[in-house]
Amino acid sequence: MNRVGSANKPCWFENRRLTSDCYLKESGMRLFRLEKNEDGETGPVLHTDAEAPDDPGPDEVRVRMRACSLNYRDILMKSGASASGGDDPVIPLSDGAGEIEAVGSEVAGFETGDQVALTFFQDWKGGPFDMKYHKAARGGSCDGVLAETVCVPAHSVVKIPAHLDFAGAACLPCAAVTAWQGLFERGSGPVTAGQTVLCLGTGGVSIVALQLAKAAGARVIVTSSSDEKLERAQELGADETINYKTTPDWDKAVFELTEKRGVDHVIEVGGPGTLEKSMNSVAAGGRISLIGVLTGFDPPEASLFPLVTRAVDLVGIYVGSRAMFERMNAFLAEHQIQPVIDREFEFEDAAAAYEYLESGSHFGKVVIRV
Ligand SMILES: NC(=O)c1ccc[n+]([C@@H]2O[C@H](COP(=O)([O-])OP(=O)(O)OC[C@H]3O[C@@H](n4cnc5c(N)ncnc54)[C@H](OP(=O)(O)O)[C@@H]3O)[C@@H](O)[C@H]2O)c1
């Protein structure tokens, strides 16, 4: 396999450049592109003269976007460190929701006016992951959603649960589907009532993981650098909380809270800087869903041997498929789960939304209205 990308920009697949059908044809509407701004820094740059997409192709739908949300991955995209980034000045952000305003001639199951969210991977409809799906990761290797209108394959949208508005639905495609896959779809089976789940931090993935795990009847432990955020986590149902700044040995605290057994599932969003403590926190036969890189891309210093002696599943999670998204939506509807939105920004203020997410002040999700 050819290896493309540079040392600080991991890339494990070929042909990252996308075919043209993922791109908007430019003509009189507003969109952002991730490119160098006036200060020479890469960020979202507003274009007010883009051409609106034509009528959708036979298999496409045209969506009037109404809300988008940010993920830490969008910060990585800006710095060039994301695994799913390309070299083109793409329309940023993977996550958005809106309403269908035109339907291609061969599209079944959707009609004008349907409220939909877009999938993170354009072409991962179901089944196991395949490296080819990297070629169309929205807001990275292909155009994303920070635009007034997008034209996308109909197989890459899902109807949004009736209890959610556009802002809530815009929080789902990356963070929620990732948490869902980690907790319900992989390894030793779905989280069940009576099990214990550990969520690291209070960002987008971890807070929706808390909500999903509580809805499944699990006991949830949440860590954070902020006591105030931990109080908010308790309001959402967290059973136990640990401040990982004031309790740097938080793995020992987890062990004490679980009568020295450990937790059944870890939502591991930290990466090399937290993996050792996550391994110390997990129970025999438990699962660590390896999701994030908040502490970087370096190899972990820790020995991986505890995974062997505890017979632990270490499962790599990469967002999820459209089929997973739909199964999650059914669960969200059944439990009437509302994504937690910390703050909403206007479309023109996208750069401020990025800065806010980057500051780490948020709890849950940050949304941009379109
Ligand atoms: N593999 C995938 O498919 C996938 C999908 C989505 C996200 N991710 C990755 O998962 C990670 C989280 O994404 P996100 O969008 O949820 O991020 P986010 O919303 O920006 O969350 C950031 C929060 O993480 C917490 N945090 C930071 N450093 C931490 C540490 N050392 N230990 C524990 N918590 C820490 C902080 O919470 P407090 O302020 O409470 O301390 C911070 O506010 C990112 O690395 C992202 O790239 C991967």
Ligand 1 nearest atom to the CA of residue 225, by list position: 41
* Tokens found for residue 3: 């290896």
Which residue from 58, 75, 53, 61 is spatially nearest to 366, judged by alpha carbons? 75
pTM: 0.93
Pocket test for ligand 1, best of 178, 254, 288, 294 (most atoms within 8 A of CB): 294
Closest residue by CA, ligand 1 atom 8: 292
Q: CATH number for the domain including 169?
A: 3.90.180.10
Same domain, 135 and 205: no
Query: Would residue 80 count as lying in a domain?
Result: yes
CA 246 and chain centroid, separation: 28
Ligand 1, atom 31: closest residue by C-alpha: 270
Cβ-Cβ contacts under 8 Å for 291 (sequence gap 6 or more): 178, 182, 205, 267, 268, 269, 317
Quick: pLDDT tens for 95-137: 999 999 999 999 999 999 999 999 999 999 999 999 999 999 9
149 and 289 inside one domain:
no
Q: Do 135 and 232 have their domain in common?
A: no
Could you identify the residue written with the tokens 């959402």? Answer: 236
Q: How far apart are CA 109 and CA 166, in angstroms?
A: 20
Position 5 in a domain = no
* DSSP letter (8 states) at residue 181: I
CA 231 / ligand 1 centre spacing (Å): 18
Q: What is the pLDDT along the chain (370 residues), one digit of tens a residue?
A: 222 222 233 333 333 334 334 455 445 799 999 998 888 888 999 999 898 888 999 999 999 999 999 999 999 998 887 666 666 789 999 999 999 999 999 999 999 999 999 999 999 999 999 999 999 999 999 999 999 999 999 999 999 999 999 999 999 999 999 999 999 999 888 999 999 999 999 999 999 999 999 999 999 999 999 999 999 999 999 999 999 999 999 999 999 999 999 999 999 999 999 999 999 999 999 999 999 999 999 998 889 999 999 999 999 999 999 999 999 999 999 999 999 999 999 999 999 999 999 999 999 999 999 9
The parent domain of residue 279 ranges over: 187-316
Please name which of 131, 277, 144 lies closest in space to residue 198, comparing C-alpha atoms: 277
Instruction: State the residue for tokens 């963070």.
Output: 175
Residue 1 covered by a domain: no
- Which residues form ligand 1's pocket by a CB distance below 6 Å? 71-73, 76, 174-175, 178, 200-205, 223-226, 229, 244, 269-270, 273-274, 291-295, 317-319, 357, 360
Could you tell me the distance, in angstroms and rounded to a whole number, from the CA of residue 109 to the centre of ligand 1?
Answer: 35
